[in-house]
Structure 1
């Protein structure tokens, strides 16, 4: 048996043993944490999590890195609540939270374009009501945009684990910066909001509200965010890999928007070129352009080979240390925004 599989089994056994020895008390008043939802054929998909309490950062621009560290670390010490039924109050549709507290709920119906607010609450607990936001793209949209976050939209140093952790945990929503050229490019590609934008990151769901603050502060186009669970479960050990998570998210977004071609945006620091090449093969003809920022040391041989392979498929590839000339490259390539 592979070492990883053995470690996975040991981790599950250890987690169950810990839960038996130190059972977590079910809170009297669990709360809902909602994430940005998205439309699918025939309805809207809502996502959220049931927790004992919400944890949020309240940063001040002048606070120290030590204060930032304490606040960021606190986001990961959550008490998840499984087996809780959550209901969309207007439609009556329900879903039950899993062992990590996560839930996905599809609300059927026809919804007008734009952002919708849908009330969710824990069944039988009206005081738990939260509004979940979900995006329905305009029928006039010409393309969809799927973008990575770390080192693509904002500086993280994800190509270096040590630098990534330092930047993530010692920054705050008041100090983290979205690249100015990313804000301009996303506004251009979205045509000021007409074309839908989706963000995909290997960061955990614990950072969803934090990322919303950073994006809103920067004026970045608003879109659903796809993050990942870092817990231990029967089908994963700590988390699925970066490429697997990103590939699954791309597939889910494209299945939800079957009539749209897409532009994929990422960077060369975390194998996005290879991941996007695989997406081009899976979704033949629907990926019209791939845009890659080259952070840190720049593109390696594997990324350059993947970019060449993407071009051979007839997909526009724009890459460089910044996004300043991307719009012109896409126009020269014949992409209509």
Structure 2
């Protein structure tokens, strides 16, 4: 999957460069502001600066071929490297952030935030064109007095039916099935909404969706979450090229890093980790539990719905028991919701 999308992205960007060279296309800039998160003192701001960002609609129903071309256009996005952007958070606070080799910025900013509102907004200005407001605003999600827990969930095969271990199956679903045709597990959104609001119905628990999908398909996954009425939250994906450069010994190490950033932002809250047995979620979540033993409350793992011969459950459950962390395997979240 990663190799395929990496190849597709390289090919499309190469074609775009040829077009620019032959036709001298103007380089307009767009800032992709991803939903970010913070507390009263810090905000982790997530954004990407690209050239000639296409206007893409995943909200309305469309044919499989139209969806394919929409997804392909996402890979035309060419990053703007090492560019300065001015950030305005609330009227009196401003910062400068810079993009990396891939056009991304994942910046921890120190802010003065009274935390009266559940969601704050951030404006972005171009440093190359002083005073020009870029065409994007970032939402910043933060806890309030009604927040009791942080839920961190995987996406593929945890809430979105994907069969992510099968390259061809996942690639075809991503490229040819629009969000309106993608299937979620039938109980997932309902249970997630209950977790969001707690048993009292008045809680404001935070949700983070941490996936191995590439940032290029962020609009597609965001629309899937919206259409299926999952709780609003922060969607954290991976930059495949950047992860390849790291050469980490840990599979899906970006997940480990993103979860650590969340935990360190909210040390006062208990964490529940929800994933699936298809890839590395059990291993990653147990590693998190070993590093933060007093913070991880539960680990919930969806069984492989396409393969009943998975045999590693007992070994992971024993490791969880040694760490003193509750760990449950489930076929449907309804089975264990009452235990929450």
Q: TM-score band (shorter)?
A: 0.7 to 0.9
Q: CA–CA distance in 2 between the matches of 1:240 and 1:26?
A: 42
In structure 2, the residue matched to 1:48 is 47
Residues 1:121 and 2:88 are matched in the alignment: no
Q: Relative to 1, partners in 2 of residues 1:104 and 1:305: Cα closer, same or farther, differing over 3 Å? A: same
SS where residue 334 of structure 2 aligns? Answer: coil
Specify the alignment match of 1:36 in structure 2: 35
Change (3 A) 1:204 1:300: same
**TM-score, structure 1 as length reference:** 0.84
Q: Which runs of 5+ in 2 are unaligned?
A: 1-6
8 Å CA contact retained: 1:142, 1:260:
yes
Distance in 1 between residues matched to 2:105 and 2:25, nearest whole Å: 17
Displacement of 1:151 = 0.8
1:310 CA drift (Å): 1.1
Matches of 2:125 and 2:135, distance apart in 1: 4
2:189 to 183, 194, 215: 183
Contact 1:318 1:329 (8 Å CA) reproduced: no
Match of 2:287 in 1: 278
Is contact 1:269–1:298 with CA below 8 Å preserved after alignment? no
Aligned to 2:233, what secondary structure does the other structure show?
coil
Q: Distance in 1 between matches of 2:243 and 2:211?
A: 20
**Structure 1 range deviating more: 257-266 or 318-327:** 318-327
1:234-288 Cα deviation digits (max 9, x unpaired):
9436x99653111111111100101011100000001211111111111112111
Give the total of aligned pairs.
314
Runs of 4+ in 1 over 3 A off after TM superposition: 21-28, 59-64, 232-237, 239-242
Secondary structure at 1:174's aligned position in 2? helix
Q: Pairwise mapping of residues 126-275 of structure 1 onto structure 2 (< 5 A)?
A: 126-191=132-197, 194-231=204-241, 235-236=245-246, 242-275=251-284
User: In 1, distance between residues paired with 2:262 and 2:59?
Assistant: 35
Q: Which runs of 5+ in 1 are unaligned?
A: 1-10, 331-337
The structure-2 alpha-carbon separation of the partners of 1:29 and 1:127, relative to structure 1 and needing over 3 Å to count, comes to: farther
Query: What does residue 6 of structure 1 align with?
Result: none
Kept after mapping to 1: 8 A contact 2:30/2:51 = yes
